[in-house]
Chains A and B, each alone.
Chain A
C-alpha cells in the first residue's frame, strides 16, 4: 500500500516497517546511487578539520500553524508478556538498515574517518530510508501513530554495526525531528517538520554538551535570557551543515530546557572540533552570541530528552560492540601461534566469551529501557543503568578487540582501532542522537 493510496485506517507502530520499506522500494534502491560497489572515492572535504565558518544558510523555514494543537504520539500498548521478539515490522526495518550498514556504511567507514566527514550521498540515501520519520506522527507526514523508541534503538544498533561515526552523521537530523514531534508546539511542528518529511532532509543537530570537565547536562553555562541564547556547545554532529539546531540552555534560575535555533543567524559560529573518534560525524563546536531562540518543550521534557539521547548512544554502542565480536571471532580462529589457533588458549577464548556475555547484558538492559520508554513507563533508572553498562563494558570490548589482534589491532589495516576510538564516546556524549 503506497502512502498516497493509504488514507483511512490506523497504522499501528507496526506499520512502520512496511512504510519504510515502501519508501525505499518506491523511491530509489540502494543501487541507484551507485554506492554499493564504489571503486573509487574522493576524499571529501579533507580540509574540514580546520574550518571556522558561519552557520549553514540554505533554506528558510516559514512559520506556520495548521493544527490547533500539537500532535502527540501515545505510548505503545504493551502485551503484558515478557518477550524478546521484535515485531515483524521492526524485523523488516532492521533488515533494511542492516543491509545499508553492511553494504554502504562499513565499506565507506575508513575513508569517512580519515575525511572527518560522511559522504553526502550516504547521508542522502540514509534520509531516503526514512530515518528521520521513525518518531514523527503520521498526521505530520511521518510514519507512526504511537511512540516507537524501541524501533529507534534497533535502528541505531543496526546502523552502528556498519560504522558508528557515519551512523551518528546520518541519525543527527532525526534527533531534531524527534525532539520537535515529541515536545514541539503546533507552530513549531508545522514550521519545521515538513522539511524533515519532504524529499530533502535538512542537516540538523541536537546540542547539549559543553566543553568542560565533569560536564553535567543539568548544570549548563549556555544561557537563555530574554529570548536570546549565549554560550558554547561541544561535539555537535555535522554542526557546519546544520540548518536547524536544538540547543540546551539554562533559563534563569529555573533550570535547563531545549531551544530551537535557525543557524543562519549571524550570532552563530561553527568551529571544527575533531575528536578521538566519531570522526565521520564532523563534530563541531557551536558558539552562540545573542542568538534569538524559542523554547522547545518543558523542563521535564528536557530531562526526558537527556535520557532518550543517552539511550540512543547505548543503542549505538551495541552495534559497534557486536562489530568487534564479529570481527575478532574469525580472527582468533585463524591466527596461529605456538602451532595452533590462538583461540585454543583460554586466555584468548575467555576474552571472547566475556565480550559475548557483557554485550548480551548491555543489549538486554538497553532494550528494557527502550521498551519502557515506548510504553510510557518511567525509564530514568533503566537508562542510567544502560549507560553505565554500555560505557564500561562497551569500552572494555573496544580495548579487548584491539588486544586480541595484538600489533595488528593497533594499525589501520583493521577496523578495531577505529571501534576502540568510537566506543570511548559512549560515556562522554550527550545529545546528538535521540530515540
Chain B
C-alpha cells in the first residue's frame, strides 16, 4: 500500500535525533564554524550515545554505519537501516552538517566498509572511525584515473600516492583508500584498502580552509611505501575486467542517499527559520490560494518547498529500495542530483529573502548557504549524477556518453 509518511516504528527514533540536533549540534554550530580545525569535544560524548542507539536495534546511529544491504528482504516490505539512516541524517543536518560529518565512527569510510566488507572484515573494523580517500590532486570526478598505486608484496600491499579532500581525514582512526593494482587495466584494477592511522608511510600533510562545513576537517594525506595487510583490501582482490568498476562504485549507491539526506536536512533548517522570519514580517504562506494571489516572498517559499518535498521523497525512495534489496543506482543518483541542487538553491534564496538578517552572522542562514555548496559536489557532483541518470535512462555506456 502506497504510503510516504515516516514509518511509525521510526518516529521515536527520529524525534531523538532531532533532540540531539537541537540541543547539541545547533548550540555549537557557530562556535566551530568560527573556530575551524578545533576539535568539537562535545561530539565524543554524543558519539557514545549514538553508538548506543545503533546497538539498540531499529535505529542505526547517525547513519553511516548502517547502510549494509539486507541479505534477503523477500518477505514483505522492509523499512530498515537505510531508511532510518537517511531520516536520522536529515535531522542531524538540520542541526549542523559539519558536526554530523565530524561524528566519530560515522564516516563515509564506515559506509564503504559496511557496503562491501566481508563478515570477517566487518568484525575486525567494528568501532573504527573510517574516512574515505578517493580524490587526488589530478583527479576528482574522473575517479577511474586515480594514480595512487597498490603493489602486492608478500602478504601485504604497498601504497603510494596522494589523496586530497579526505573528510575527517585528520581525526579518523583509519582511511579507506582507493588505489589501483595495475594502471594499465583501468577501472577494474581499482580496489579499496583500509589503512589504519599510524601506519608507517602515511602522513596527514595539511588541513584545508573552506567555504563551509568548517567544523569538519578536510585533510590531504600522503602514502609512501605504506604497508597494509592484504586482508585490508575490501571486496575481491581479483581484477575482473568484465565487472569493471562495479565493486568500489557499489558504495556510492549506499552513500549518495546519505549525502542527499544531508542536503534535505540543511535545506529544511533554512526554510523553517525563513518562514518564521517572514511571518514576523507579516508574510504567511497559504497552501490553498493560488500563488499569484500571494506576496512574492510567499510564492517563492512555496516553490522552494515544492522542490524540497521532491528532494526529500526521492531520498527516502532510494533508501527504501536499498532496504528492500532493489537495485537503486538510478534513484540514488536522482536523489543526490535533486537534493544537492535544491539545497544549494534554497539556502541561497533564503538568504536573499531574509536580507541583512540572512546575510549577517546574526543567524545561521548565511552559514547554511555556505555549508550547502559542498553537498552538490562531494560523493559525485551534480554533473556526474546527471551523467549517471542519463546513461541509465538512455541505455548508454560510459564510452558512448562521456
Using a CB–CB cutoff of 8 Å, the interface residues on chain A facing chain B are 76, 78-87, 90, 150, 214-218, 303, 306-307, 325, 329, 332-333, 343-344, 346, 349-350, 352-354, 356-358, 360-362, 364-365, 367-368, 370-372, 375, 377, 380-386, 388-389, 392
Tell me whether B291 and A388 are in contact (CB under 8 A): yes
Query: Top 7 closest A-B pairs, CB basis?
Result: A361-B310, A80-B8, A364-B313, A349-B390, A384-B287, A388-B306, A353-B390
Residues of A contacting B352 with CB < 8 Å? none
Give Cα A81–Cα B3 distance, bound, in whole angstroms: 7
Residues of B contacting A79 with CB < 8 Å? 1, 3
Which of B27-35, B117-125, B133-141, B314-322 interfaces with chain A? B314-322
Residues of A contacting B72 with CB < 8 Å? none
Q: Could you give 29 example pairs across A and B, Cβ below 8 Å? A: A78-B1, A82-B320, A84-B317, A84-B320, A86-B2, A218-B288, A307-B288, A329-B393, A344-B402, A346-B387, A346-B390, A346-B401, A354-B386, A356-B393, A360-B317, A364-B4, A364-B310, A364-B314, A364-B317, A367-B4, A371-B4, A381-B287, A382-B309, A384-B288, A385-B309, A389-B306, A389-B307, A392-B303, A392-B306
Tell me whether A344 and B400 are in contact (CB under 8 A): yes
Residues of B contacting A367 with CB < 8 Å? 2, 4
Residues of A contacting B311 with CB < 8 Å? 361
Chain B facing A: main interface SS: helix
Interface residue ranges of B101-142 to A (CB < 8 Å): none
Interface size for chain B: under 10, 10 to 19, 20 to 34, or 35 or more residues?
Answer: 35 or more
Q: B331 within 8 Å of A by Cβ?
A: yes
Known: A329-B393, A371-B3, A383-B287. A82 touches B314 (CB 8 A): no
Residues of B contacting A343 with CB < 8 Å? 390, 394, 396, 401
Residues of B contacting A354 with CB < 8 Å? 386
Residues of B contacting A349 with CB < 8 Å? 386-387, 390-391, 394, 396, 401
Known: A214-B292, A364-B310, A389-B307. A353 touches B4 (CB 8 A): no
Q: B256 within 8 Å of A by Cβ?
A: no
Tell me whether A78 and B310 are in contact (CB under 8 A): no
Give Cα A350–Cα B303 distance, bound, in whole angstroms: 22
Residues of B contacting A372 with CB < 8 Å? 5
Q: B243 within 8 Å of A by Cβ?
A: no
Against A, the Cβ 8 Å flags (1 = close, 0 = not) of B1-30 are 111111111000000000000000000000
Shortest Cβ gap from A338 to chain B (Å): 14
Tell me whether A357 and B2 are in contact (CB under 8 A): no
Using a CB–CB cutoff of 8 Å, the interface residues on chain B facing chain A are 1-9, 77, 79, 83, 287-293, 302-303, 305-307, 309-311, 313-314, 316-317, 320, 331, 334, 337-338, 383, 386-387, 389-391, 393-396, 400-402
Most chain B CB within a 10 A radius of its CB, from A85, A325, A360, A371 = A360
Give Cα A215–Cα B391 distance, bound, in whole angstroms: 42
Shortest Cβ gap from B296 to chain A (Å): 14
Q: Kindly report which residue of chain B lies nearest to residue A154, judged by CB atoms.
A: B2
Q: Which residue in B4, B290, B337, B387 is a CB contact (below 8 Å) of A215?
A: B290
Shortest Cβ gap from B62 to chain A (Å): 20
Residues of A contacting B7 with CB < 8 Å? 80-82
Known: A364-B313, A389-B309. 9 other contacts (CB 8 A): A82-B6, A84-B2, A90-B2, A344-B396, A349-B391, A356-B393, A365-B306, A371-B4, A375-B3
Tell me whether B305 and A82 are in contact (CB under 8 A): no
Residues of B contacting A307 with CB < 8 Å? 288
| A-B residue pair count with CB separations less than 8 angstroms | 166
Shortest Cβ gap from A108 to chain B (Å): 28
Give Cα A367–Cα B314 distance, bound, in whole angstroms: 12
Tell me whether A360 and B386 are in contact (CB under 8 A): no
Known: A81-B79, A365-B306, A368-B4. A352 touches B393 (CB 8 A): yes
Q: Which residue in B5, B316, B391 is a CB contact (below 8 Å) of A78?
A: B5
Most chain B CB within a 10 A radius of its CB, from A86, A325, A382, A385 = A385
Tell me whether A362 and B400 are in contact (CB under 8 A): no
Residues of B contacting A217 with CB < 8 Å? 290
Most chain A CB within a 10 A radius of its CB, from B288, B311, B337, B391 = B288
Residues of B contacting A80 with CB < 8 Å? 3, 7-9
Q: Kindly report which residue of chain B lies nearest to residue A356, judged by CB atoms.
A: B393
Give Cα A362–Cα B314 distance, bound, in whole angstroms: 10
Tell me whether B1 and A350 are in contact (CB under 8 A): no
Tell me whether B334 and A357 are in contact (CB under 8 A): yes
Residues of B contacting A381 with CB < 8 Å? 287
Tell me whether B306 and A82 are in contact (CB under 8 A): no
Tell me whether B288 and A303 are in contact (CB under 8 A): yes
Q: Which residue in B5, B302, B337 is a CB contact (below 8 Å) of A82?
A: B5
Tell me whether B5 and A357 are in contact (CB under 8 A): no
Q: Which residue in A81, A350, A371, A380 is a CB contact (below 8 Å) of B390?
A: A350
Q: Kindly report which residue of chain A lies nearest to residue B342, judged by CB atoms.
A: A361
Most chain A CB within a 10 A radius of its CB, from B8, B83, B309, B401 = B309
Residues of A contacting B77 with CB < 8 Å? 81, 83, 85
Shortest Cβ gap from A327 to chain B (Å): 13
Give Cα A377–Cα B79 distance, bound, in whole angstroms: 21
Give Cα A350–Cα B402 distance, bound, in whole angstroms: 11
Q: Kindly report which residue of chain A lies nearest to residue B396, judged by CB atoms.
A: A343
Residues of A contacting B320 with CB < 8 Å? 82-84
Q: Which residue in B1, B289, B337, B393 is a CB contact (below 8 Å) of A87?
A: B1
Tell me whether B334 and A356 are in contact (CB under 8 A): yes
Tell me whether B3 and A361 are in contact (CB under 8 A): no
Residues of B contacting A383 with CB < 8 Å? 287
Tell me whether A218 and B394 are in contact (CB under 8 A): no
Known: A368-B313, A380-B287, A384-B288. A329 touches B394 (CB 8 A): yes
Q: Which residue in A150, A352, A377, A388 is a CB contact (below 8 Å) of B394?
A: A352
Q: Kindly report which residue of chain B lies nearest to residue A87, judged by CB atoms.
A: B1
Q: Kindly report which residue of chain A lies nearest to residue B290, judged by CB atoms.
A: A216
Give Cα A344–Cα B313 distance, bound, in whole angstroms: 30
Residues of B contacting A362 with CB < 8 Å? 310
Tell me whether A85 and B390 are in contact (CB under 8 A): no
Shortest Cβ gap from A400 to chain B (Å): 13
Residues of B contacting A382 with CB < 8 Å? 309
Shortest Cβ gap from B383 to chain A (Å): 8
Tell me whether A214 and B293 are in contact (CB under 8 A): yes
Give Cα A382–Cα B331 distance, bound, in whole angstroms: 21
Residues of B contacting A333 with CB < 8 Å? 394-395
Give Cα A377–Cα B6 distance, bound, in whole angstroms: 13
Give Cα A81–Cα B314 distance, bound, in whole angstroms: 16
Tell me whether B289 and A216 are in contact (CB under 8 A): yes
Most chain B CB within a 10 A radius of its CB, from A150, A350, A362 = A350
Give Cα A325–Cα B290 distance, bound, in whole angstroms: 28
Give Cα A71–Cα B288 distance, bound, in whole angstroms: 27
Residues of B contacting A87 with CB < 8 Å? 1-2
Q: Kindly report which residue of chain B lies nearest to residue A361, judged by CB atoms.
A: B310
Q: Kindly report which residue of chain A lies nearest to residue B287, judged by CB atoms.
A: A384
Residues of B contacting A332 with CB < 8 Å? 394
